[in-house]
Amino acid sequence: MGAHLRPLDKGETMDGFMQSRNQPWNISAACSNSASSKNGTDDLQSSSSLICSVLTSELPTNHAAFNLAWKRCNTDQLMKYHFLMRYPSENVSLSQVFKTDLPSNIFTESCSVLNYCFEEADQVKIIRILDEFSTSKRFKLTMNFLSKEEKELIQLLFEKFDCDKVSSSLLSKYQIEL
């Protein structure tokens, strides 16, 4: 099928189409170009503005927006931890974000971040996050396809909690025996 578009003539322009586009086509490439810049202050400013945008912007309320914000955190475990901790703090439901599907990569990475950055004071928030993850329609399916190492990671996370703060129903959903 043809598109019935004629090619531009030598003197024609696209009437400002490309000039008005400020967003790069490939965000990852744009970030790596700024990271490879010779001036270290530019790199520091861009990473700090990224942290500010992820941690101060409105929380995503759907799966696609969450995934985008999660990827913006790159490999910074602490930034991902603070991003997750915002959900219970701001009374935004992760169960709404992952209502139909909880991708295993986001789930296991979230559990890894919660385990790595665990703070005693955040136990109730972390338990709430895990409880909201477990309300996803495909949570059992996600749990069934976890590797042995991923299940051990979740076990380690649950072992950090005070026993009286974790409900038996949550333990059974995660197939945890303490």
pLDDT digits (tens, 9 = 90+) for 94-141: 999 999 889 999 999 999 999 999 999 999 999 999 999 999 999 999
Report pLDDT digits (tens) over 17-32: 555 555 556 555 555 5
pTM of the model: 0.71
The per-residue pLDDT for 178 is 76
Q: What is the model's pLDDT at position 38?
A: 45
- Residue 46 in this model has a pLDDT that exceeds 90: no
Residue 99 burial (CB < 10 Å; 0-12/13-18/19+)? middle
Is residue 167 left, alpha or beta, with left meaning phi > 0 and alpha meaning psi from -120 to 50?
Answer: beta
Band of residue 142 on the pLDDT scale cut at 50, 70, 90: very high
In terms of pLDDT, which residue wins out, 93 or 7? 93
What mean pLDDT value characterizes the chain? 81
The whole-number pLDDT of residue 29 equals 58
Q: 5, exposed or middle or buried, with CB in 10 Å at 0-12, 13-18, 19+?
A: exposed
Rounded percentage of the chain residues whose pLDDT exceeds 70: 74
